[in-house]
Structure 1
Amino acid sequence: MKIINSKIYQIFTDLTNHVVLNILFLLSILPVITIGPAINSLFHVVSDWNTKNNKDVLVPYLRYFFRSVFSIDVIMSILLIFITGIYYINFTDLLPINAQNTLIIVLIMMVSLLLFIGIVVNYYLITVRETNKLKFINTLKKVVSYTTLNIGRTLIYGCLISLFLLLVDLFPPVIFIISTSVVKIILKIDTI
């Protein structure tokens, strides 16, 4: 059984797990209202890969997707969609930039958008890190505290997700590999 123990076999197994997890994630976000549970599941499964050295995909993903905080994650999805829509409407109203004060407003909005994306990432990092079931309000308090203490990391997370979305927009097939890689990078940055 030298093939199963070979490095090439392990690389292909890891690559297949990444592709399967990304496909599950993409299928999960098709009904837009389930973006929150899908992100939650993605973060938890990649965290399990890193900490427990468990490379299972389907069963853990579905377990995290349908766990007890599903309704809270759906509410987070609605909030995420609503705030993203507000940003989209405001950006389309302000562009193209034709005055200096418009440029300042757009820059402020871009920084606040990066901060918002980073706060969303912080929420899912806290839910992954806290194995005991925190109440939603306590989780939000921890997110605010973590964001305040780690504003630089929060902005880095926002930039990383923005670059990920830009890369997917420029080259769509990369989405089948890159989602799990971005989450792995975020989890590594969080442990530093």
Structure 2
Amino acid sequence: MIISFGIPEHDRDRVADLYWQAFEQKLGLVMGPSDKGRSFVRRVLMSDHALCAHTDDGALLGVAGFKTHAGALVSGTFADLRQIYGLFGASWRGFLLNMLERDTENRRFLMDGIFVAPEARGRGVGTALLGAITDTARDRGYEEVRLDVIDSNDRARALYEREGFTAIKTARLGPLRHIFGFRSATTMVRAVHQPDPINAPAPKTNAPPSTT
């Protein structure tokens, strides 16, 4: 397994498809229909906010995104929304999406989305990507990694707990749960200097120079 920084241009469609598959339950009512949701994701993907896992022969296994003050794996502007959904569609979608927006703060490196191809699940890809995110945080001078997990994603939370993430707070969505399909999101953090789990894989990496 090779983990590298950025999204190869030939993988953009596949990354958009996998992202939509992973988050359609959460975003489908707001960002649907599916064809428009995928089109929007592909349009706004920020390659420099992604780590991709590939097989040695180049097949995409999974992606982990992160968020900084400069952007996120899937971000976009009102103009991007308008291009896909029109003026009215962009207006109400933008309003609702802002309800889910998370600040980047300064103390913790914010992971923003992780997903694995269905055929690659159970092969340690998620664990390897979490390790790469932690390494990236360390290289950029952060002491902790932060992520949020929704209450309906028990599988992801179990993975995060195995990899040393600890819950620090839970925020409830209130009436918006009927739109986004979950009741609460829990913030979890992990120190970047703690030892990796003994059985974690050691993928080859191809990361850019450290930045702050």
Question: Normalising by the residue count of structure 2, what TM-score does the alignment of the two structures yield?
Answer: 0.22
Question: Normalising by the residue count of structure 1, what TM-score does the alignment of the two structures yield?
Answer: 0.23
Report which of the two structures shows the higher radius of gyration computed on alpha carbons.
Answer: 1
